[in-house]
A and B are shown apart, each in its own frame.
Chain A
Amino acid sequence: MKTFKNRSRITYTFLFSLVVLFVGTPALAQQNSQSDYEIVQSYKNQYKSLNKQVDNARSAKQVEELIKSIKQFDRDFEEHKDLLNKVIHPENYASQLKALQKSALTTQERLTTIEEQDRKLQKLSNKLVGYDQQLQELSSKTDSLQLAIQKSIKSEKQLSTMVRKYRKSLEKRDDLILSFVDSVMIAYQKLNISSIQDLENAQKKARFEANGNALNMIKNIAQENIQFLASNPKLSTEEYLRMNAVQQQFQDMWNKVGDKLTEIYVEDNAANVKKEVNASIKKWDMEISSRTWKTLNEAIDEEGIDMPKFTNQQTFYNTLNSYLENSFQSSKDDRSQKTYANYQRFYSFWTNDVQMNWSPYIERGHILSSKQLASIDRKVDQWASIAEPKSNLLLYLFGASVLAIVVLGVVLIREKAK
Chain B
Amino acid sequence: MKRFSNLPGMIVLLTSFMLIGCRQSLVIKKVDYSQPVETVLEPGEEGQVIDAENNISFNILPLQYRETKDTTSVTTEKIRMIRGREGFYYITASGYHHVYVMAPEKGSLKLERQIKINNEGLQDPAFNQRNPYVELLNKSTGETYALTKKGIAKPKTDKDEGGR
Contacts and interface: CB of A to CB of B under 8 A. Distances in A.
**Bound together:** yes
Interface of A: 29, 32-38, 40, 82-83, 86-87
A86 B128 CA distance: 13
Contacts of A87: 36-37
State the majority secondary structure of interface residues on A.
Answer: helix
Nearest to B139: A33
B90 interface: no
B142 A29 contact: yes
Interface size grouping (class) on chain B: 10 to 19
State the majority secondary structure of interface residues on B.
Answer: strand
Would you list the 8 A-B pairs with minimal beta carbon distance, nearest first?
A: A35-B126, A86-B36, A33-B142, A33-B139, A36-B128, A36-B37, A29-B142, A37-B38
B145 interface: no
B137 interface: yes
A36 B36 contact: yes
Contacts of B129: 36
Contacts of B40: 37
Nearest to B38: A37
Contact of A33 (B38, B127, B137): B137
8 contacts: A32-B142, A33-B139, A33-B142, A35-B38, A36-B129, A36-B164, A83-B37, A83-B164
A33 B138 CA distance: 8
Contact of B127 (A35, A83, A86): A35
A37 B142 contact: no
Interface in B33-74: 36-38, 40
A37 B164 contact: no
Q: Among A33, A35, A38, A40, which residue has the most Cβ atoms of chain B within 10 A?
A: A35
B37 A86 contact: yes
Contacts of A34: 139
Q: Among A29, A34, A36, which residue has the most Cβ atoms of chain B within 10 A?
A: A36
A78 to B, nearest CB: 15
Given A37-B128, A83-B36, A83-B164, 19 more contacts: A32-B142, A33-B137, A33-B138, A33-B139, A33-B140, A33-B142, A36-B36, A36-B37, A36-B38, A36-B126, A36-B164, A37-B37, A37-B40, A37-B80, A38-B126, A86-B36, A86-B37, A87-B36, A87-B37
Contacts of B141: 33
A41 B117 CA distance: 26
A35 B129 CA distance: 10
A83 B36 CA distance: 7
Contacts of A35: 38, 126-128, 137, 139
Nearest to A28: B142
Nearest to A31: B142
Contacts of A86: 36-37
